[in-house]
């Protein structure tokens, strides 16, 4: 029998991560990034033109808010379908916010998925199902990101996708290649483990972690392999309808996330259909590169890269900082704020949960 995750130790890990510095550092990095963008836009002198809004700008303000809500509703709906249990709205919201919070306070490569199983379990879902939900969510996200790139290339020439007026040079291109390759390898391993022969994944990961520089992570790797194997057993009898809902909700999470920036830009500069598609594609590239960024949630780097990637869609110098601030507020700092409010309450309930289990 495979070993289940140690929920007690994982709960201590959640508690140890909740320190003021875990919230303060991402904010400071972000402020440095925004400050750098402001300096870069103003280094040739303060622009004379006033900050102007587009016609019907209020429509795009409403859409920015709606797309933020749709993004989270898509994530909550996916959680509900995966759980197979009648989780309440508040439970789904709590899991979603805590997962995004841990993603925001850890480097992008680490993410918040390692702790999502704890959040789900504490809402009454058995450990095996919670683990399977976490693994499956990771697979669906990685698959979407891998498949999206060739789809974008059907509509956008490669030469245009990787060139920009904002110094979008070879460094970013190579960072994208590395990030995409890492995602492709991870998605392939998950696919083999979930839909081919699940026992193979244990052997493959065992071989990978025989490499000298990875040996100290061997137990963690084998545990991940067992979690993938358990997930394969959990999902093997799911219906076609289940997978359709999974795919559409996953697409909703990412599409609405990317469209938030599109709508923020259109508050100041209406984009054509082709412009919207290119803006969407550039955000996809930014997200792929983000997995190799060392700061929590890519803070600091994300703000600068956004300016580099999308500056051609933002004609007014001062609106760059405003748009970046709106974008990061609704896709990043929103979760920092929500997690800071929810997590202390969650930890208190978690301790009560543990006490009841031991009595």
Whether residue 2 is contained in a domain is answered as no
To 10 degrees, what angle do helices 170-195 and 198-208 make? 140
Taking residues 274-279, what's their average pLDDT? 92
Residue 1 within any structural domain of the chain: no
For residue 307, name the pLDDT band (cuts at 50, 70, 90).
confident
The Cα 113–Cα 135 span in angstroms is 8
CA separation (Å) from 328 to 205, 264, 293? 36, 11, 16
Instruction: Give the range of the structural domain holding residue 231, as residue numbers without chain letter.
Output: 7-358
Q: Calculate what percentage of the chain has a pLDDT beyond 90.
A: 30
Give the number of domains in the chain: 1
Instruction: Tell me if 121 is assigned to some domain.
Output: yes
Model's pTM, two decimal places? 0.86
Q: Is residue 117 part of a domain?
A: yes
Identify which of 135-144, 158-167, 339-348, 350-359 has the greatest average pLDDT. Answer: 135-144
List the single range of 17-26, 184-193, 262-271 with lowest mean pLDDT.
17-26
- Is 158 within a domain? yes
Three-state secondary-structure class, residue 98: helix
- Supply the pLDDT for residue 2: 41
Alpha-helical runs (H) found in the chain: 7-17, 20-42, 57-83, 89-104, 113-121, 127-153, 158-161, 170-195, 198-208, 218-235, 240-266, 273-290, 301-310, 317-328, 334-358
Tell me phi and psi for residue 107, to 5 degrees. -55, 150
Flag whether pLDDT at 231 surpasses 80.
yes
Who wins on pLDDT, 290 or 210?
Answer: 290
Query: What confidence tier does 144 reach under pLDDT thresholds 50, 70, 90?
Result: very high
């Amino acid at each position: 029998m495979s070993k289940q995750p140690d929920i007690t130790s994982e709960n201590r890990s959640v508690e140890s991560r909740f320190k003021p510095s875990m919230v303060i550092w991402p904010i400071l990095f972000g402020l440095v990034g925004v400050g750098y963008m402001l300096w870069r836009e103003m280094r040739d002198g303060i622009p004379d033109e006033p900050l102007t809004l587009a016609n019907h700008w209020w429509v795009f303000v409403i859409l920015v808010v709606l797309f933020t809500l749709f993004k989270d509703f898509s994530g909550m709906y996916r959680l509900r379908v995966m759980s197979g249990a009648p989780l309440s709205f508040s439970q789904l919201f709590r899991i979603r916010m805590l997962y995004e919070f841990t993603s925001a306070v850890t480097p992008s490569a680490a993410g918040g998925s390692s702790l999502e199983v704890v959040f789900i379990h504490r809402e009454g879902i058995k450990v095996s199902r919670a683990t399977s939900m976490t693994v499956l969510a990771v697979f669906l996200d990685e698959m979407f990101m891998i498949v999206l790139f060739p789809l974008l290339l059907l509509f956008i020439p490669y030469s245009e996708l990787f060139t920009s007026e904002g110094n979008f040079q070879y460094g970013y291109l190579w960072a994208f290649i590395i990030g995409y390759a890492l995602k492709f390898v991870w998605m392939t391993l998950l696919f083999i483990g979930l839909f081919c022969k699940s026992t193979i994944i244990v052997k493959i990961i065992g071989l990978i972690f025989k490499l000298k520089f990875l040996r100290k992570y061997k137990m963690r790797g084998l545990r991940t392999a067992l979690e993938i194997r358990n997930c394969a057993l959990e999902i093997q009898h799911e219906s076609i309808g289940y997978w359709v809902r999974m795919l559409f909700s996953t697409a909703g999470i990412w599409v609405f996330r990317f469209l938030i920036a599109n709508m923020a830009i259109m508050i100041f500069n209406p984009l054509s259909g082709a412009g919207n598609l290119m803006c969407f594609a550039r955000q996809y590239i930014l997200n792929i590169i983000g997995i190799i960024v060392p700061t929590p949630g890519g803070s600091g780097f994300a703000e600068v890269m956004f300016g580099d990637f999308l500056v051609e869609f933002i004609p007014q110098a001062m609106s760059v900082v405003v748009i970046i601030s709106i974008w990061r507020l609704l896709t990043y700092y929103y979760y920092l704020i929500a997690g800071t409010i929810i997590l202390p309450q969650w930890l208190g309930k978690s301790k009560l949960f543990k006490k009841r289990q031991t009595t």
